[in-house]
């Protein structure tokens, strides 16, 4: 059973370009979470999605960032007009469900390391 997949693993963008990060959840998982890990900081929640719905985007910057999880295909985190401060590791996690013991656990992908030059 394949785990959470993310690609690309490393992404280099110049200031002002767009970055697209993709996440394929574990088979059977319909809940996707995106987290950001800045250098020397812990993991911070960004957005929570279910198929075709954004459930909670309270951790996502209001501008330049967007996320989607279409009916078919991976979840996408999109950053427009990137700035140096966007350089970080972006992790996707998926879960089967939550509020049921053992089913709400989140499993993380290997991350995408974004470098903005």
Partner 1 sequence: TQLLEQSPQFLSIQEGENLTVYCNSSSVFSSLQWYRQEPGEGPVLLVTVVTGGEVKKLKRLTFQFGDARKDSSLHITAAQPGDTGLYLCAGEDLGSGNTGKLIFGQGTTLQVKP
CB of 47 to partner 1, least distance (A): 9
Among residues 28, 38, 34, the alpha carbon closest in space to that of 1 is found at: 28
Query: Distance between CA 21 and CA 68 in Å, rounded?
Result: 11
Contact between 87 and partner 1 by CB under 8 A: the answer reads no
Residue 59 lies near partner 1 (rule: CB under 8 A): yes
Q: Which is nearer to partner 1, 82 or 93 (CB)?
A: 93
Closest CA to 104 of 51, 38, 53, 29: 29
Residues lying near partner 1 in the complex (CB under 8 A) are found at: 4, 6, 31, 33, 35, 41-45, 48, 55-56, 58-59, 91, 93, 95, 98-99, 101-102, 104-111, 113
């Amino acid at each position: 059973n394949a785990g959470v997949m993310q690609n690309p693993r490393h992404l280099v963008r110049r200031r002002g370009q767009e970055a697209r990060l993709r996440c394929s959840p574990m088979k059977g998982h319909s809940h996707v979470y995106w987290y950001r890990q800045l250098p020397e900081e812990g993991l911070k929640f960004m957005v929570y999605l279910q198929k075709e719905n954004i459930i909670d985007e309270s951790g996502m910057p209001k501008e330049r960032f967007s996320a989607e999880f279409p009916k078919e295909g991976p979840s996408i985190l999109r950053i427009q007009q990137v700035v140096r401060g966007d350089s970080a590791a972006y992790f996707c996690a998926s879960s089967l469900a939550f509020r049921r013991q053992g089913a709400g656990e989140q499993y993380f992908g290997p991350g995408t390391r974004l470098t903005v030059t």
